[in-house]
Structure 1
Amino acid sequence: MLFRNLDLLFSNPTAFFILIASLAAALVVAITIHEFSHALAARTLGDTTAERLGRLSLNPARHLDPAGTLLLLVAGFGWGKPVPVDPRLMRGNPRTSMSLVSLAGPASNILTAVVLGSLFRFAVLPEPNGSAAVFGRDPLSMVAYVVSLAVLFSVILAVFNMIPLWPLDGFKVLLGILPEEQAQSLAKVQMHGPLILMGVVFADIALGLGILNTILGPPIDILISAFMG
């Protein structure tokens, strides 16, 4: 994402830093809400682990993962700092409770995208114009641009995190809805998830394969279009 605009750093440094600030602000909103929602769901179900560790907070510094945030800026896909939870402390079936906590992050991002997207759908904000925001420095255009980026990153986080590979939310949701025997079989391969995930992401970036964009691009585009009109 940043690489596509790297030429701005040399041709118009001010515009480049406005772009970075806009991206960073939108990222902070999307990631903070995602991780806070995991902590809130766990607390609601009786697990205070995240709360005791300071993660039941809207302070972005508690939720940003350096690698995941950088990857979001560079490649458009990434993650926040995982929220520590203990399914044994939650009410109800531990697998079901863990699944609900995992689902809370992506669900909160979708809700955020719906709410922010409605500002464009109902013409509260003008249609986002990156050029006007970055080059024209019109205040209303800048607000609209940052809000549109927050919608984009919220949808990206929701869709990307539903990939059924450990440690993403989709894997934990799948563990909770599969029959116990199949869930136990799937849990045995979770240790390979991070290696597979990082291998796909970095191969995608380094070799320009477009795997993630091919798989995740269509649902992301459909959701953004639906939310923003």
Structure 2
Amino acid sequence: MSFLAFLIALIVGVTIHEFSHAFVANLLGDKTPKIDGRLSLNPIRHMDLLGTLALFIFHIGWGKPVIINDRNFKKPIRDSALTAIAGPISNLATAFLIALPLKYLSFGANFDWLLEILNSIFTLSIVLAVFNLIPLPPFDGSKILALFIPSRYQYQYQEFMQKGVVYVLLLLLFDAYVLKAIFHGSLISRFISLVYDFIATFIYTNT
């Protein structure tokens, strides 16, 4: 994957992902993303510097978080989870759409560049979906997991979500420099590769 193809795929994947959060939040009654200018397909509004750097270094990343005010939702925990899952679902939907031309169209030598870009979008869309379903902050999976946390522990869980990103970054560093040395490879990358292969095969089989 060339740098240019990767960059285009990153912009497409993150923009669609974050726009979907904003769109669903707005649909469920929270106008905060719209006020913040996030109800937009302008990539600049959705790129996060730290998340982009993490994707380059650790092959795991995220976009600029869409700020929501769950007090505007009728059912805050449920609607926050629906807003969160919209991002990964949009990435998987993108992968399904991209799989159609990849599977059914023939690309001549003059269009190798287009094939590379489409392959990159397909791959990165799945990777973004998988990583964002990890049930740890700042990933969407942490908000989805909140649906299953008993109400008496919700306050503690919300506190963890506010500070948990530090622990995730430490985990990434531990995996990249300690576990990688012990197991001759990143365990996180191996896990993601297994899940990616399963999803990619499923998509190609069902398009």
TM-score by length of 2: 0.89
Q: Give the equivalent residue in structure 2 for 1:120.
A: 102
Alignment pair present for 1:61 and 2:37? no
**Partner residue of 2:93 out of 111, 116, 137:** 111
CA deviations 1:158-210 (Å, max 9, x no partner) are 11011111221001011124332343443343344112210111222334351
Does the aligned pair in 1 maintain the 2:24–2:83 contact within 8 Å?
A: yes
Secondary structure at the aligned position of 1:189 is classed as: helix
Does the aligned pair in 1 maintain the 2:102–2:118 contact within 8 Å?
A: no
- Distance in 1 between residues matched to 2:106 and 2:170, nearest whole Å: 40
Distance 1:139 1:77, change over 3 A: farther
Does the aligned pair in 1 maintain the 2:46–2:63 contact within 8 Å?
A: yes
Letter in 2 for 1:217: S
Letter in 2 for 1:168: F
Letter in 2 for 1:223: I
Question: What residue ranges of structure 2 are gaps of 5+ in the alignment?
Answer: none
**Partner residue of 1:166 out of 116, 137, 145:** 137
Does the aligned pair in 2 maintain the 1:120–1:228 contact within 8 Å?
A: no
Does the aligned pair in 1 maintain the 2:95–2:126 contact within 8 Å?
A: yes
Q: Give the equivalent residue in structure 2 for 1:212.
A: 188
Alignment pair present for 1:200 and 2:166? no
- Distance in 1 between residues matched to 2:153 and 2:81, nearest whole Å: 15
CA deviations 1:66-109 (Å, max 9, x no partner) are 1211222333211100001111112x211100000000001100
**Partner residue of 1:140 out of 87, 106, 111:** 111
CA deviations 1:110-165 (Å, max 9, x no partner) are 111111112222x2254xxxxx9xxxxx4411111111111111111111011111
- Distance in 1 between residues matched to 2:93 and 2:152, nearest whole Å: 33
Q: How high is the sequence identity, in percent, across the aligned residues?
A: 32
216-225 or 79-88: which moved more? 216-225
C-alpha deviation, 1:39, in angstroms: 0.2
**Partner residue of 2:34 out of 51, 70, 73:** 51
TM-score by length of 1: 0.81
Alignment pair present for 1:93 and 2:75? yes
Does the aligned pair in 2 maintain the 1:37–1:104 contact within 8 Å?
A: yes
Q: Give the equivalent residue in structure 1 for 2:56.
A: 73
- Distance in 2 between residues matched to 1:57 and 1:214, nearest whole Å: 34
Question: What residue ranges of structure 1 are gaps of 5+ in the alignment?
Answer: 2-18, 127-131, 133-137
- Distance in 2 between residues matched to 1:165 and 1:220, nearest whole Å: 19
